[in-house]
Homo-oligomer: A and B are copies of this chain.
Amino acid sequence: MRLTTKGRYAVTAMLDLAIHAQSGPVSLNDISGRQGISLSYLEQLFAKLRRGGLVASVRGPGGGYRLSRDSSEINVAEVVDAVNESMDATRCHRRGDCQDGEECLTHHLWLELSDQIHAFLHGITLAQLIQRKEIRSTADRQDSIARNRIDAVLSTDDVTG
């Protein structure tokens, strides 16, 4: 079982997508800027999210990604799953053949832990998350920082180099 940056980034990016859904497709560049995730890495993650049927892409200028379902129909467990981070705590992938074809001493324990985690993540949808006030305020902060960055670029003479 593991939950690393990969799975966390995937959920963060999907949440960003859900939050900014009303203004058309969202480019990975925008997500990268707001969430501080490298563009190249986002490309990898979204390839998996697309294969997993969670997002749809729009190519060309003005393009980006959209959720392929309503945010109320996508739960966190699916997102983590799509990027191949298994929340399964057993060694045998629930088969019960962990030790010489039989259950190991702790098989049931890890099975129960897996069920706990899955129930928790499966019960939370993107729609529910974007209702939360701490997430709304974090998103607002990120949006204003992004706007400031754009303003700064526009108002500055381009004297790079």
List B contacts of A12 (CB < 8 A). 104-106
How far apart are A109's CB and chain B's nearest CB, in angstroms? 7
Q: Mark A97-131, 1 if CB is under 8 A from B, else 0.
A: 00110111111111011001100110010000100
Give how many A residues have a beta carbon under 8 Å from the other chain's beta carbons.
41
Query: B2 to A106, Cβ gap below 8 A?
Result: no
Copies of this chain in the oligomer:
2
Query: A11 to B109, Cβ gap below 8 A?
Result: yes
List B contacts of A81 (CB < 8 A). none
Name A135's contact: one of B15, B89, B108 (CB within 8 Å): B108
Q: How far is the CA of A113 from the CA of B121 in the complex (A)?
A: 8
Q: How far is the CA of A1 from the CA of B117 in the complex (A)?
A: 12
**In the assembled complex, A50 has its CB within 8 A of some CB on chain B:** no
